[in-house]
C-alpha cells in the first residue's frame, strides 16, 4: 500500500516537474521566436517551432497559458500589432494539420488578444499581421484557404470587419495554384465576406479581383452586384512589372461582369502584357453589347482593333468621350502599322453620328496621306467639340490641307460648327502657320493650344519662319468666341505693335501665350537692349488706357530677362488688375456693392495693396461717394485716405 502511494507521489512529482520544465521551455522558445521578424528566422527556429508543437501535444493545457507570450515583445509589453498564434505558426510554413491542431488548442487564435483576453485591432479595424504574413510568402496555399474559411465566420461576429485578409489574399496569392479545392474555398470565403458586409466592395477590391487568378467569374459577378451606386469608373491596366503577364478569356469575362454599370472604362495593357485574341474579341463584344451606359472609353490601339471592326463601339450615341492610344508600349510602334486605316475608319464612324462627340483624344500616331477624311472631319469642326492630339506626327496633315475642301460623302458637313477647343502636341511643327490659318475658319473655337512634343527638336531656321504675326492676327480677328490662344513653340516671334492693334478691338480673349517655351540657356542671358524693351510699350499703353480689360494672362516674353524689365513688370501688374475685376471697377453702371465685392476679392487673392489702389483709380466718382464724411464735412471727390477701409 505504501509502495503504491509512494509511486503515485513520485509519478505526480515527475509530471509536475515535467509540466514546469515544459512551461519554461515554451516560454523560452516563444520569447526567442518573437524577438526576431519572420524573414530573419532560419532552420533552427523552424526546428524549435516543431519541438514546441510536440510539447503542446503532450501538455495541451499550456496552450492558453503560453500563447499570450506571442503578443509580447522582448520587454514583456503587449505590442501595438499583436501576433495571433494561428498566424504565427502559419507564417513559419506550418502544415495544414499543424495549423488545425493549433486552432483546436486555441480557438481564439484567429485574432490577436492582449493579456486580458480582449480582442485587439488597429485603428482601421484589421490585424496588420495578415498582410505581413501573406507578403512574406512562406504561408501555404491550403493554410491560406483554412484561414480564409475560419476568418469569414469570425469577421461576421465582430463589429469591425477585417479589410486586409481578402485584399492581401487576392494580391499576394501564389499565381500558379491549380488546386480547385483551394480555389473553391477561397472564392466561397470571399463571397461570404461580401454578402455579409457589402461595404467591403470598393474600387480597390474590384481592381484586385479582376487582375487575380484566384477570383472566379462568379465571385466577380457578386462583387458587381454589391458595388455601391457611386462606382462608375474602372481603369483596367494589366501590366507585368517583373514577369510577363497575359490577359486570358477568363479575365475578359470578369471585366464583362462589371461593364453594365460603368460610365467610364479604360483598357490599357502595359508593355509586358500580351492579350489572347479570344480575350480581346470577347472584351470588345462585351463593350458593344453591355456598354450602352458608357460615357467615356479609352482603348490602346492594336491591329485587331481595326481588322475585326471593333471601332464600331464609337457609333454608340451615348458615348461622349473616346481616346485611342497608338503609343509604342501599346503593342505596335507608331511608325509602322495600320494607323491610317484606324483613323479613316474612326473618321467614317464619327462622321455618321447623329450627335457630335464631346471629346476625341488621339495619342502617338502618325498621320499619313491616306487619312484624308480624318483631316476633313477635324477641320470642319462639326463632329467633335474637343480635340486632343498628343505626340503626333502631323507633317502630312499640313500637306493635305490644300485638298481637304473636296466633297465627301460623310453627312457631317450639314451640321453647324461645334468645335470648341483643340490641343495639338506634335513632334513635327514646321507648318504650324498653316494649321492656325485653317483653324481660323472654325468660328466656334474657344481654345487653341499648339506646342511641340517632348521628343521634338525642331527649330525655325529663319526669322521669317519664326514670325507668327499674320496667322495669330487672323485667328484673333476671325474667331469672336476665342478665349485662350497658346502658341508655345520654340523661339517664336510676333510683332507686338500689330498684336496690340488687334487686341484693342478684341473683347473675348483672356489668355495669350506666344513663344514662352524657349530654349535660351542661362549663360546666354543678357540684359535686354533699348530696342527690345520698347517693344512692350505698345502693350503697356493698350492695357494702361483701358482699351482691353479682358486679357488676364499675357506671356509674350521671348527672353527671360525681358520679364524683369520695367515694361515687363508693368505688364504683369496691368494683367493682374484685369484678372481681379478691372472691367467691373471701371464700369459706369457698377453699384457700390459690386465695387466692394471686387475689392474684397482683390484683397483676398493679392496681398499687396497696390492692386486695391489700382482698382479704385478706375472709377473715382463711385468710390469717393462711398467714403463716409469726416467731422461733419464731405470729403473731396477725388481724395484718397488710407484710413478708410471696406470691412
- Other beta carbons within 10 Å of 298: 19
pLDDT of residue 608: 65
Give the range among 123-132, 216-225, 369-378 with minimum mean pLDDT.
123-132
pLDDT of residue 512: 92
Confidence of residue 414 (pLDDT cuts 50, 70, 90): low
Confidence of residue 23 (pLDDT cuts 50, 70, 90): confident
d(CA 476, CA 271): 43
pLDDT one-digit tens code per residue, 501-513: 999 888 899 999 8
Q: Are 151 and 162 within 8 A, CB to CB? A: yes
* pLDDT score of 380 more than 50: yes
- Single out the residue of 296, 329, 337 nearest to residue 313, CA to CA: 296
Q: Which residue shows C-alpha cell 519664326?
A: 466
* pLDDT score of 522 more than 50: no
Give the range among 280-289, 302-311, 375-384 with minimum mean pLDDT.
302-311
SS3 366: strand
Ordered DSSP codes for 443-458: TT--EEEEEE-TT---
The fraction of the chain above a pLDDT of 90, given in percent, is 6
Give the range among 93-107, 115-129, 178-192, 578-592 with minimum mean pLDDT.
115-129
pLDDT of residue 75: 37
pLDDT one-digit tens code per residue, 436-495: 888 888 889 999 998 876 666 555 555 666 788 899 999 999 999 999 999 887 777 788
Confidence of residue 34 (pLDDT cuts 50, 70, 90): low
Which grid cell sits at 205? Answer: 477590391
Strands 273-275 and 384-392: unpaired
Angle of helix 217-226 versus helix 249-258 axis, rounded to 10: 20
Greater model confidence, 82 or 403: 403
Q: Are 323 and 298 within 8 A, CB to CB? A: yes
pLDDT of residue 145: 62
d(CA 299, CA 331): 12
Largest interatomic CA distance in the chain = 127
> CA-based Rg of the chain, rounded to a whole angstrom?
36
SS3 371: coil
pLDDT one-digit tens code per residue, 199-220: 767 777 787 777 777 778 888 8
CA distances in angstroms from 577 to 338, 393, 465, 546, 644, listed in the order given: 52, 40, 34, 11, 21
User: Angle at CA 341, nearest 5°, toward 340 and 344?
Assistant: 80
Long-range CB contacts (< 8 A, 24+ apart) of 316-320?
316/288, 316/291, 316/292, 317/353, 317/354, 317/355, 318/292, 318/293, 318/294, 319/294, 319/295, 319/357, 320/295, 320/296, 320/357, 320/358, 320/359
* pLDDT score of 173 more than 60: no
Give the range among 96-105, 256-265, 409-418 with minimum mean pLDDT.
409-418
Confidence of residue 525 (pLDDT cuts 50, 70, 90): very low
Greater model confidence, 583 or 515: 583
The gap from C-alpha 557 to its chain's centroid, in whole angstroms, comes to: 33
pLDDT of residue 382: 77
* pLDDT score of 137 more than 60: no
Q: Which residue shows C-alpha cell 528566422?
A: 41
pLDDT one-digit tens code per residue, 597-643: 888 888 887 766 778 888 888 877 766 666 555 554 544 444 444 44
- Mean pLDDT rounded to a whole number for the chain: 71
pLDDT one-digit tens code per residue, 60-113: 777 767 666 665 544 333 443 345 666 666 666 677 777 787 777 766 655 544
Q: Count Cβ neighbours within 10 Å for each residue of 129-148 and write b for 16 or more, e otherwise.
A: bbbbbbeeebbbbbbbbbbb
Give the range among 4-8, 380-384, 536-540 with minimum mean pLDDT.
4-8
d(CA 392, CA 413): 25
Q: Which residue shows C-alpha cell 496555399?
A: 141
Greater model confidence, 539 or 61: 539
Question: Average of pLDDT values for 31-44?
Answer: 60
What are the domain boundaries of the chain? 1-139, 582-647
* pLDDT score of 332 more than 60: no
Q: Count Cβ neighbours within 10 Å for each residue of 526-565 and write b for 16 or more, e otherwise.
A: eebeeeebebbbbbbebbeeeebbebbebbbbbbeebbeb
pLDDT of residue 429: 61
What is the signed CA dihedral for 326, 294, 207, 214, rounded to 10 degrees?
-100
Eight-class DSSP state of 413: G
Confidence of residue 5 (pLDDT cuts 50, 70, 90): low
Question: Average of pLDDT values for 178-184?
Answer: 62
User: Where does residue 179 rank: exposed (0-12), middle (13-18), buried (19+ CB within 10 A)?
Assistant: exposed
pLDDT of residue 602: 84
Amino acid at each position: 500500500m505504501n509502495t503504491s502511494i509512494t509511486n503515485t507521489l513520485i509519478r505526480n512529482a515527475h509530471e509536475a516537474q515535467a509540466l514546469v520544465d515544459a512551461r519554461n521551455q515554451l516560454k523560452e522558445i516563444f520569447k526567442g521566436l518573437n524577438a526576431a521578424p519572420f524573414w530573419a528566422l532560419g532552420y533552427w527556429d523552424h526546428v524549435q517551432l516543431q519541438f514546441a508543437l510536440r510539447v503542446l501535444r503532450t501538455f495541451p493545457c499550456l496552450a492558453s497559458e503560453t500563447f499570450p507570450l506571442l503578443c509580447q515583445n522582448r520587454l514583456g509589453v503587449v505590442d501595438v500589432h499583436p501576433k495571433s498564434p494561428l498566424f504565427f505558426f502559419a507564417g513559419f510554413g506550418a502544415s495544414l494539420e499543424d495549423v488545425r491542431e493549433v486552432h483546436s488548442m486555441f480557438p481564439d487564435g484567429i485574432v490577436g488578444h492582449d493579456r486580458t483576453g480582449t480582442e485587439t485591432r488597429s485603428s482601421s479595424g484589421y490585424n496588420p499581421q495578415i498582410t505581413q504574413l501573406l507578403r512574406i510568402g512562406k504561408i501555404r496555399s491550403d493554410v491560406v484557404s483554412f484561414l480564409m474559411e475560419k476568418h469569414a465566420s469570425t469577421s461576421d461576429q465582430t463589429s469591425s470587419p477585417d479589410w486586409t485578409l481578402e485584399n492581401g489574399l487576392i494580391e499576394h496569392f501564389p499565381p500558379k495554384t491549380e488546386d480547385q479545392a483551394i480555389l473553391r474555398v477561397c472564392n466561397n470565403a470571399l463571397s461570404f465576406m461580401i454578402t455579409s458586409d457589402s461595404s467591403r466592395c470598393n474600387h480597390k477590391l474590384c481592381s484586385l479581383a479582376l487582375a487575380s487568378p484566384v477570383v472566379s467569374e462568379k465571385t466577380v459577378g457578386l462583387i458587381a452586384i454589391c458595388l455601391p451606386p457611386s462606382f462608375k469608373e474602372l481603369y483596367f491596366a494589366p501590366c507585368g512589372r517583373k514577369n510577363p503577364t497575359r490577359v486570358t478569356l477568363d479575365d475578359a469575362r470578369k471585366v464583362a461582369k462589371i461593364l453594365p454599370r460603368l460610365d467610364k472604362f479604360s483598357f490599357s495593357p502595359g508593355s509586358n502584357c500580351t492579350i489572347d485574341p479570344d480575350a480581346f474579341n470577347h472584351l470588345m463584344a462585351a463593350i458593344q453589347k453591355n456598354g450602352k451606359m458608357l460615357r467615356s472609353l479609352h482603348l490602346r490601339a492594336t491591329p485587331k482593333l481595326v481588322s475585326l471592326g471593333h471601332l464600331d463601339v464609337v457609333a454608340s450615341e451615348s458615348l461622349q468621350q473616346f481616346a485611342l492610344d497608338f503609343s509604342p508600349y501599346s503593342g505596335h510602334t507608331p511608325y509602322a502599322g495600320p494607323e491610317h486605316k484606324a483613323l479613316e475608319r474612326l473618321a467614317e464612324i464619327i462622321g455618321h453620328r447623329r450627335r457630335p462627340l464631346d471629346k476625341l483624344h488621339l495619342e502617338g500616331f502618325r498621320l499619313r496621306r491616306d487619312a484624308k477624311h480624318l483631316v476633313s472631319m477635324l477641320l470642319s469642326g462639326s463632329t467633335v467639340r474637343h480635340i486632343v492630339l498628343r505626340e503626333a506626327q502631323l507633317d502630312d496633315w499640313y500637306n493635305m490641307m490644300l485638298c481637304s475642301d473636296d466633297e465627301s460623302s460623310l453627312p457631317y458637313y450639314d451640321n453647324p460648327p461645334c468645335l470648341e477647343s483643340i490641343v495639338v502636341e506634335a513632334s513635327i511643327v514646321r507648318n504650324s502657320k498653316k494649321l492656325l490659318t485653317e483653324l481660323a475658319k472654325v468660328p466656334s473655337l474657344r481654345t487653341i493650344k499648339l506646342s511641340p512634343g517632348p521628343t521634338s527638336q525642331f527649330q525655325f531656321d529663319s526669322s521669317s519662319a519664326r514670325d507668327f504675326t499674320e496667322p495669330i492676327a487672323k485667328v484673333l480677328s476671325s474667331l469672336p468666341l476665342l478665349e485662350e490662344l497658346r502658341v508655345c513653340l520654340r523661339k517664336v516671334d510676333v510683332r507686338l505693335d500689330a498684336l496690340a492693334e488687334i487686341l484693342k478691338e478684341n473683347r473675348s480673349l483672356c489668355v495669350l501665350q506666344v513663344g514662352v517655351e524657349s530654349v535660351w540657356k542661362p549663360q546666354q542671358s543678357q540684359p535686354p537692349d533699348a530696342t527690345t524693351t520698347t517693344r512692350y510699350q505698345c502693350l503697356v499703353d493698350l492695357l494702361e488706357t483701358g482699351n482691353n480689360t479682358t486679357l488676364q494672362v499675357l506671356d509674350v516674353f521671348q527672353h527671360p530677362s525681358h520679364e524683369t524689365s520695367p515694361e515687363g513688370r508693368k505688364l504683369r501688374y496691368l494683367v493682374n488688375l484685369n484678372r481681379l475685376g478691372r472691367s467691373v471697377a471701371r464700369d459706369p453702371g457698377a453699384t457700390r456693392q459690386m465695387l466692394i465685392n471686387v475689392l474684397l476679392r482683390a484683397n483676398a487673392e493679392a496681398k499687396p495693396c497696390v492692386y486695391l489702389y489700382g482698382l479704385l483709380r478706375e472709377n473715382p466718382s463711385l468710390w469717393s461717394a462711398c467714403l463716409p464724411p469726416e467731422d461733419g464735412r464731405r470729403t473731396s471727390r477725388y481724395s484718397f485716405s488710407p484710413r478708410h477701409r471696406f470691412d
